[in-house]
Structure 1
Amino acid sequence: MPLVELSRVRRLLVCPRCRSELVAEPDALHCAARDCAYGRTGAFPMVGRWPVLVDFERSVMDRAVVPAEGAGRADSLPAPVRRLVKPPNRVAARNIDLLLRALPGPAPRLLVVGGATIGNGVRAAYRDPRVEVIAFDIVAGPLTQFVADAHQIPLPERSVDAVLVQAVLEHVLEPPTVVSEIHRVLKDDGLVYAETPFLQQVHAGAHDFGRYTVSGHRYLFRRFEELAAGAVAGPGTQLLWSVEHLVRGLTRSANAGRGARVLLCWLRALDRMVPPGFAEDDAAAVFFLGRKSEDAMTPAEIIRYYRGAQ
């Protein structure tokens, strides 16, 4: 798995507040800029093996809460049940293949935002021997190399060749700020692949903030040239989400909802019968694959962009 060695990652890291270099201490880091609020000793603690590079005054993250390592509930299920609850994401797999083929050079650098674990359908990015993967999250995990808030990515400008941000933008307070940060850290002509929910119920509780249509998602990435975009999953999958949460509400039981999801997993197959325009209007989630650009899509262009069935 081509994760960049932590020692090499640390040499890339900068202060999330002012983007100055960092000074290493035995069990912490601090900003090299004396006039920065994080220029004091111990400003950025080490929690276990993870540097915590968060501007807590501007983040929903709590300094008093130690980021804990742990896997999601679905990952703890038996493999056959897990495939029914969360089947392979073929759309992501296809788009990651496109992204990998478009990456330049012998050792392109891929930044994974929300990379505590490997996302569904993106494993090929971790298997490509020529790709250097850097992964961060707001929690520690098996693949986390540093803890940070995506609103202030602690990396220099133009430092990575591609960014993967899968099922993350619904969990940030200001998605345009995060996308602006992605644009900043990408090299010229760098690539981004994003997946974000459209018609899905709340998940992750208090840390779930937003949803996007295909058009809204495209405008969020308006400073990128589109290579591909559309629905990750259509009305059948969206209906399955709704049935699961209806059963949860009626029974007051998350396990009952998951049981209904397993029993009705065949609803996903209906997605294949729905034309793309209808699928985009009723998608469970949407995706965007694009290349960094200095030209931005205009409001008039996003109106003309719509390609749904209405």
Structure 2
Amino acid sequence: MPLVEWDEIRPLLVCPRCRADLETGPGGLHCTDSACAHHSPAAFPLVDHRPVLVDFERSVVTRDSVTPFAGRADARQGADRLPVPLRHLVKPPNRVAARNLDLLLRALPGPAPRLLVVGGATVGNGVGALYRNPDVRVIGFDIVTSPVTQFVADAHRIPLRSASVDAVLVQAVLEHVLDPASVVAEIHRVLKDGGLVYAETPFLQQVHAGAHDFTRYTASGHRYLFRRFEEIASGPVAGPGTQLLWSVDHLVRGLTGNALAGRVARTGLFWLRGLDRLVAPDFALDGASALFFLGSRREREMSPGEIIGYYRGAQSAR
């Protein structure tokens, strides 16, 4: 697994509040700026031998929520706990992500580009090839510790130097942050000029992370979120058939008060997902379960007029 070694990551790290350099102290890292609140020794402690680079006063992440990986309950949730054949009925392999990741990897500059995974506590559905590619140096972080992350951070203040990575992967994360525009601005900042971003974000999905689920995007809204990027590709990750499965699942949950009953109903109607292939592309955009965006960093920002002209769905402007 081509995770970047700590000796290479350490010079890239900065204070999440003031972006000054960091120093190593007896109990962890701290900011070198004496005027910064994080200048005190061990301002950023270690958990699981990973620095916790979070500005807790300005984050929904709390100190108590960052616990050792081994001490937490099984990190696998829902479909991930099922046997593989049944898991693929409930949560099939994400072929759209796999195809787009291949596009991204082939477009990366060489040699040994750095790719940052935002919210990478687990290997995302369809992106496993990234972690098997020996030519890519992967940096991962999340708000919890994980065997596939090197530090803990809040994506609103990514503790990396500007223009320090060649690509960013942010899959099924932006719905879980308070201010997605700020997170995308941070992604833009840490990317090198022309750097690539691949994002997947829900459109028509029910709440799936309780108090940590905040936002949904239409195709146009998702594009405007990445308005300082040149589009390479975009579209549905999953269409109206998959969206219908989500609705059936949550309807049954609501009627029975039982999440397991919803998952059983969803599994029994797995064939609805196949209807995605029969829906015309313009209708699929208007009724997608989730959307993707693959783009390259630029300085020019898309204008409000451009986003109105961008619409490609089935509802023509009147």
Q: TM-score by structure 2 length?
A: 0.96
1:260 corresponds to 2:261: no
Aligned counterpart in structure 1 of residue 119 of structure 2, from 114, 118, 122: 114
Q: Is the 8 A contact 1:115 1:144 kept in 2?
A: yes
Distance (Å, rounded) in 1 between the aligned partners of 2:169 and 2:264: 31
- The secondary structure found in structure 2 opposite 1:117 is coil
The residue number in structure 2 matching 1:280 is: 285
The residue number in structure 1 matching 2:56 is: 56
CA RMSD of aligned residues (A): 1.0
Distance (Å, rounded) in 2 between the aligned partners of 1:174 and 1:114: 15
- For structure 2, list consecutive stretches of 5 or more residues without a partner in the other structure: none
- The secondary structure found in structure 2 opposite 1:41 is coil
Aligned counterpart in structure 2 of residue 123 of structure 1, from 123, 128, 132: 128
TM-superposed deviation, 1:68? 4.8
TM-superposed deviation, 1:64? 2.9
**Residue type of the partner of 1:87?**
P
Q: Deviations over 1:22-80 (max 9, x none)?
A: 11123311001111110011111111222100011111111233335352213221111
**Residue type of the partner of 1:259?**
V
TM-superposed deviation, 1:126? 1.2
Q: Is the 8 A contact 1:13 1:155 kept in 2?
A: yes
- The secondary structure found in structure 1 opposite 2:227 is coil
The residue number in structure 2 matching 1:104 is: 109
**Residue type of the partner of 2:218?**
T
Aligned counterpart in structure 2 of residue 291 of structure 1, from 283, 291, 296: 296
Distance (Å, rounded) in 2 between the aligned partners of 1:298 and 1:252: 45
1:196 corresponds to 2:201: yes
Distance (Å, rounded) in 1 between the aligned partners of 2:107 and 2:67: 35
Distance (Å, rounded) in 2 between the aligned partners of 1:26 and 1:8: 21
Distance (Å, rounded) in 2 between the aligned partners of 1:129 and 1:249: 46
TM-superposed deviation, 1:84? 1.0
- State which drifts further: 181-190 or 42-51: 42-51
Structure 1 runs, 4 residues or longer, greater than 4 Å off: none
The residue number in structure 2 matching 1:24 is: 24
1:4 corresponds to 2:8: no
Quote the sequence identity (%). 72
- The secondary structure found in structure 2 opposite 1:61 is coil
TM-superposed deviation, 1:184? 0.1
> Number of paired residues?
310
Q: Deviations over 1:74-94 (max 9, x none)?
A: 322111111111101111111
The residue number in structure 2 matching 1:71 is: 75
Q: TM-score by structure 1 length?
A: 0.98
**Residue type of the partner of 2:142?**
D
The residue number in structure 2 matching 1:167 is: 172
Distance (Å, rounded) in 2 between the aligned partners of 1:68 and 1:258: 30
Distance (Å, rounded) in 2 between the aligned partners of 1:106 and 1:146: 24
- For structure 1, list consecutive stretches of 5 or more residues without a partner in the other structure: none
Distance (Å, rounded) in 2 between the aligned partners of 1:29 and 1:169: 28
The residue number in structure 1 matching 2:41 is: 41
Distance (Å, rounded) in 1 between the aligned partners of 2:91 and 2:50: 29
Distance (Å, rounded) in 1 between the aligned partners of 2:176 and 2:146: 17
